[in-house]
Chains A and B, each alone.
Chain A
């Protein structure tokens, strides 16, 4: 460590020669050798710096409906998003033909669809078993981001946002429909 040598050296013997007998001795300030203290402090500091993890995981809340009998909803209020095994997304409002949609366009699409039907729209997400979890989270994330735009937009019309969203199982029929696309 730096600071070798006697600490406070040079203060004593400021004057050479014999001091007079009753000369007031210059009081040497309280000197503490801080080197070991600093050593330990830095050791601990490096230890904590290396062991600490800055990025704590965050969470995405999910609510799934409990097992109930099928609830009948009007087809016209549905908005289906399907995720195929290869990660491609398809959407269709109500009974329309499914169309391909890119991840980056999903947000705008959802916003427009929601604004048309306000709180009536029910978003249905159907995911293929083979789709990767990464894609699923990205879609969910996009859908969550839309909420951030929707809430103020609906607020202007004095409508509190009520989210209607569900994850439904992907059926054979669903798969058939998006297969040729």
Chain B
């Protein structure tokens, strides 16, 4: 018997199911992906949020003003306030009108503030858009004094309903 050299056919794999699943996952991740805001990618600090039990309410994303109380460096005493607004139109107006904000900060999304400026900002935000929702995003390591001062500012400007940002407690 003569040996017929069989032409070796390349390894063929049906990739259709693989591609199906890959695209399924791709679309899923594409739709669920939420990108960091411009301000978040610029900020140098990271906030360790306190954990609270599972709650269904999620942070609103329309007309939101966030007051961030963050620890700037490794030094715990180094705490400061940051103010951030999601609505661009309101933000431009608020930053232009609020006293205590210098020109270099005007174009930014997030500004560093002290208590006096914070009061201006909260007040101005309420004037520009009465529907503004406030949220306080504070680091869990800060002293209560920082939050208390912040709440006092909100009280003065009659922003009496606000949200505290937390993370979901695991295993609940």
Contact = CB atoms under 8 A, between A and B. Distances in A.
A133 B147 contact: yes
B25 interface: yes
A144 B166 CA distance: 14
A138 B53 CA distance: 9
Contacts of B19: 34, 37-38, 41
Contact of A133 (B15, B23, B141, B158): B141
Contacts of B69: 133
B31 to A, nearest CB: 9
Contacts of B15: 2-3, 34, 38
A57 interface: yes
A133 B161 CA distance: 19
Given A3-B13, A38-B19, A59 B158 contact: no
A134 B50 contact: yes
A3 B161 contact: no
Interface stretch (A47-55, A112-120, A150-158): A47-55
Contacts of A67: 155-156
B139 interface: yes
User: Which size bracket describes the interface of B in this complex?
Assistant: 35 or more
B115 interface: no
Given A3-B13, A141-B52, A57 B164 contact: no
Given A48-B30, A52-B29, A59-B59, A130 B144 contact: yes
B52 A44 contact: no
B75 interface: no
Contacts, number: 164
Contacts of B154: 64
B40 to A, nearest CB: 11
Contacts of B147: 133, 136
Nearest to B52: A141
B138 to A, nearest CB: 5
By size class, the interface of chain A is: 35 or more
A122 B8 CA distance: 85
A133 B147 CA distance: 8
B84 to A, nearest CB: 14
A136 B167 contact: no
A61 interface: yes
Contact of A6 (B10, B26, B135): B10
Contacts of B168: 55, 58
B163 A130 contact: no
A17 interface: no
Contacts of B161: 61-63
Interface of A: 2-7, 9-10, 34, 37-38, 41-42, 44-45, 48-49, 51-53, 55-67, 83, 127-134, 136-138, 140-141, 144-145, 167, 169
- Lowest 3 CB-CB distances: which A-B pairs, in order? A5-B10, A48-B29, A129-B145
Interface of B: 9-13, 15, 18-19, 22-23, 25-26, 29-30, 32-35, 49-59, 69, 135, 137-148, 151, 154-156, 158, 160-168
